[in-house]
């Protein structure tokens, strides 16, 4: 029986790359998307075209009823849940003095409440030997101006992740966060000029932006062989201090 992964934010960017990588690793995948059915369908088609198994389920990750329905769909279609990759997130950049508080509330709802809701279902329903993977950001350590609200929301993600790892003692379930550095996704590139992108790409000693495939490699490791890595934040950022 195939192992089963739920990937939120699975229709684009890091989430989609992670979904396709896990499918290549042999997981049956539930691609969870927020609004763009066409992109989700494209992700499923890409997986099934390579002989993998996948379905797409729409859900607001902050809605506990919708998220429970995602886990129901995984169990009904594939028999259970072994890995949960919570890649859905919202990022709005602004100095503290200028941030629209509606944007703060939106990030809080998706990034904090959404992570908590997904983690809650995962804690109840992931099978023994499973893995729960959340997403933080390397910006937490870099303290870049303009990122206060976003970084604050991801600080909450790290707290939830590390505490959940300890709460699941005796279940043989790992819980870790991936904290990407600058990664070439639509979310990251949106609104940035070439000079800004070039400056960010020059930061790591490897002197390039990360790619979604770089991050999916880490997700694959944590979802599969990394059984002794638990309660950690893995900063996948090319060596930015």
For residue 43, tell me if it sits in a domain.
yes
User: How many CA atoms, within 13 angstroms, populate the side-chain half-sphere of residue 58?
Assistant: 7
Which residues span the domain enclosing 154? 4-182+212-234
C-alpha distances (whole Å) from 95 to each of 147, 199, 230 are 7, 19, 34
Contact criterion met (CB below 8 Å) for 54 and 23: yes
Q: What is the tens place of the pLDDT at every residue in 42-101?
A: 999 999 999 999 999 999 999 999 999 999 999 999 999 999 999 999 999 999 999 999
Q: Which pLDDT value is given to residue 138? A: 93
| Residue 198 resides in a domain | no
SS3 178: strand
Phi-psi region of 69 (alpha: psi -120 to 50; beta: other; left: phi over 0): alpha
How high does pLDDT run on average in the chain? 95
| Residue 238 pLDDT | 94
Instruction: Count the neighbouring beta carbons within 10 Å of the beta carbon of residue 101.
Output: 9
Find the length of the chain: 241
Find, among 70, 54, 51, 50, the residue nearest to 62 by Cα: 70
User: For the segment 205-227, what is each residue's pLDDT rounded down to a tens digit?
Assistant: 998 999 999 999 999 999 999 99
Which domain CATH number covers 221?
Answer: 3.40.50.720
Q: 3 vs 88, 129, 158, CA distance in Å?
A: 21, 10, 26
The answer to whether residue 191 sits within a structural domain is no
Name the domain count of the chain: 1
CA-wise closest residue to 218 among 11, 9, 10, 21: 21
- Residue 206 located in a structural domain: no
Q: Which of 71, 147, 150, 188 is catalytic?
A: 150
Domain assignment present for residue 241? The answer is no
* Residue 156: how many other CB atoms lie within 10 Å: 17
Q: In what order do the strands lie in the sheet with 4-8?
A: 54-58, 28-33, 4-8, 83-86, 131-135, 174-178, 233-234
More confident residue, 240 or 24: 24
Residue 150 a catalytic site member: yes
Write down the pLDDT at residue 240: 87
Q: For the segment 112-163, what is each residue's pLDDT rounded down to a tens digit?
A: 999 999 999 999 999 999 999 999 999 988 888 999 999 999 999 999 999 9
Residue 203 has pLDDT above 90, yes or no: no
- What is the percent of the chain where pLDDT is above 70? 99
Largest CA distance in the chain: 53
Give yes or no for a contact between 67 and 118, defined as CB atoms under 8 angstroms apart. yes
For residue 38, being part of any structural domain is answered with yes
Q: Which H or E run contains 131? A: strand 131-135
pLDDT of amino acid 161: 98
Q: Which of 238, 118, 216 is nearest to 175 (CA)?
A: 118
Residue 94 lies in a domain: yes
**How much is the pLDDT for 109?**
97
Judge whether 217 lies within some domain: yes
Mean pLDDT in residue range 105-116: 97
């Amino acid at each position: 029986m195939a192992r089963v992964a739920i990937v939120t934010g699975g229709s684009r960017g890091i989430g989609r790359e992670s979904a396709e990588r896990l499918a290549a690793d042999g997981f049956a995948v539930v691609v969870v998307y927020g609004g763009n059915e066409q992109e989700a369908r494209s992700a499923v088609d890409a997986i099934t075209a390579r002989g993998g198994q996948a379905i797409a389920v729409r859900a607001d990750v902050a809605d506990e009823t919708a998220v429970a329905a995602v886990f129901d769909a995984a169990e009904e279609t594939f028999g259970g849940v072994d890995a949960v990759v919570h890649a859905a997130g919202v990022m709005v950049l602004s100095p503290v003095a200028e941030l629209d508080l509606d944007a703060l509330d939106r990030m809080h709802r998706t990034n904090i409440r959404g992570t908590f809701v997904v983690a809650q279902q995962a804690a109840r329903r992931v099978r023994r030997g499973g893995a729960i993977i959340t997403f933080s950001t390397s910006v937490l350590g870099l303290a870049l101006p303009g990122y206060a609200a976003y970084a604050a929301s991801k600080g909450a993600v790290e707290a939830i992740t590390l505490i959940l790892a300890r709460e699941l003692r005796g279940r043989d379930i790992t819980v870790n966060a991936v904290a990407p550095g600058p990664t070439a996704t639509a979310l990251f590139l949106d609104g940035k000029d070439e000079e800004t992108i070039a400056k960010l790409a020059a930061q790591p000693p490897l002197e390039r932006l990360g790619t979604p495939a770089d991050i999916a490699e880490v997700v694959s490791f944590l979802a599969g062989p990394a059984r002794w890595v638990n309660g950690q934040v893995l900063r996948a950022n090319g060596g930015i201090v």
